[in-house]
Chains A and B, each alone.
Chain A
Amino acid sequence: MSILVTSARLRTFLRTFLIQGSWNYRSLIGSGLAYTLLPMLRVKFRGEPEKLNRAVRRHLQPFNAHPYLAGIATGAVARLEEEGADPEMIGRFKDAIRGSLGSLGDGLVWAGFRPLALLLALIIAWAGARPYVVITVFLILYNIGHLWLRIWSLLIGLEGGHSVLERLRTADLPSLTQKTLAAGSFALGGLIGVFVVDGRSLGAGLWPWLFAATVGFAVGHRVGYAAWRPTAVFTALAVLVISILGLA
């Protein structure tokens, strides 16, 4: 029986949502990948428990990928198992694909699409929308992209098998990432515009506040991520100190 039967595909797809469930420093999401592949491996090795155990052991090796794009590896590996590919070749394939799936997903989703969806929700939040409207807008917007990416990933993996990297190149995710980053820049400008108009409630304090915020923005832009933790800790501690000292 083919491991690509619909029920096995569906169970595998649902398991991709849990692929990071046992994230650990030894195999990263390797155990999650093996867990996700299990429904298909069980069909492939039905009645051959020792072969199934060996396949699970092979897939417990270290692996990493962005969780939304890990479906590409899941689908492609399932396809290779279905075709009876050499286990060593499957291992090399996994090693070859993991870097791309990590960096492409991090750029597209974590650095681009997620902040963009959040910025749009924050704009309507600071423009005065009701709380449930804000989170509904975010969850709908985000999940359109999120679910599409998960479904697409598994499907092109299953269809592509060993040639999935070629399909990935055709999809041109870097170009989509660039568009997302550009849209994010526009949305970030929009949110800051809303903040500035809201800042009128500070009265005469508006201009010093704007000056401080502009300097902060420039510092963040100049220094980059290294400034994040010091800023977060400093701001939190500043609030506590102001309270303790009762500074007006």
Chain B
Amino acid sequence: MVSRPLVAGVIAGYLAGDAVTGLLIGSTLELYHLAIVPAGGGRFPDTGPATVVAATVAVWTGGTPGAIAIAWSLGLLWGQVGGWTVGLQRRLNGVILGRVVGEGGSPAALEVAHSLAILSDLTRGTFFTAVGLLIGITVVPSLAALWPLELEWTVGLILAGASVPLGILFKGFGGWPEHRVLFVVGLGAGLVGAYLL
């Protein structure tokens, strides 16, 4: 659960020096990943390292609207690449189990293989994050300088894109046919509550 974008963004932002920017990056990335149901052995974005990259790079490159926008999009794309590396990791786990445990079924060998698999995944995540940070701090400053939008419009653009995943999420909840009344009541409550705050 620490790998959720919302949590990883705040922690990475705090460690980089600005938890509020981390929250902005983490919460907007979270909106895109809420609808994903990681069932079975499919390929899904690796959100934790990608969010750490996005939040850290956004803070380190000044936290400007441009830095936030470019680092955020890097995080979204980096998560896709991360999903591919998770697939490789799973293949590697099969190799580790085959080599270490083999046909013998020794409990000690199983514990070693299981620990090695966890350790190699940790190494993968660390390396993957480091490469993302390197790409981010190299690329983001030059592109961020060209960014033409204010923060409100930057966030507005990201939220407009997030409307599609939120529609997917609503469909996953049962959607308009099943839960339209609760959705509309919630919408009203959100409007009134936010207006009064």
Contacts and interface: CB of A to CB of B under 8 A. Distances in A.
B118 A21 contact: yes
Given A34-B110, A218-B167, A225 B197 contact: no
B70 to A, nearest CB: 6
Interface in A198-237: 198-199, 201-202, 205, 209, 212-225, 227-229, 231-237
Given A122-B30, A221-B168, A239-B72, A193 B183 contact: no
A42 B107 contact: yes
Contact of A182 (B45, B168, B174, B193): B174
A192 B20 CA distance: 21
Interface string A44-63: 00000000111111001000
B7 A139 contact: yes
Interface string B16-31: 0001101100010011
B110 A60 contact: yes
A199 B156 contact: yes
B187 A189 contact: yes
Most chain A beta-carbon neighbours within 10 Å: one of B13, B23, B114: B114
Given A134-B10, A247-B148, A35 B91 contact: no
Contacts of A237: 73
Interface string A175-196: 0000001111111111111111
Nearest to B191: A193
Contacts of B169: 115, 184, 188, 220
Q: Is chain B's binding surface mostly helix, strand, loop or mixed? A: helix
A217 B35 contact: no
Contacts of A223: 168
A242 B147 contact: yes
B76 A125 contact: no
Size bin of chain B's contact surface:
35 or more
Interface of B: 1, 4, 6-7, 10-11, 13-14, 19-20, 22-23, 27, 30-32, 34-41, 45, 66, 69-70, 72-74, 76-77, 80, 90-91, 93-94, 96-98, 101, 103-107, 110-111, 113-115, 117-118, 121, 143-144, 146-149, 152-153, 156-176, 178-179, 182-195, 197
A-B CB proximity, top 4 nearest = A193-B190, A220-B167, A189-B186, A216-B163
Interface of A: 18, 21-28, 31-32, 34-35, 38, 41-42, 52-57, 60, 64, 102, 106, 110-112, 115, 118-119, 121-123, 125-128, 131-132, 134-135, 138-139, 142-143, 146, 181-199, 201-202, 205, 209, 212-225, 227-229, 231-240, 242-244, 246-248
10 contacts: A18-B114, A21-B117, A53-B107, A126-B194, A142-B1, A186-B183, A194-B191, A221-B170, A228-B168, A231-B165
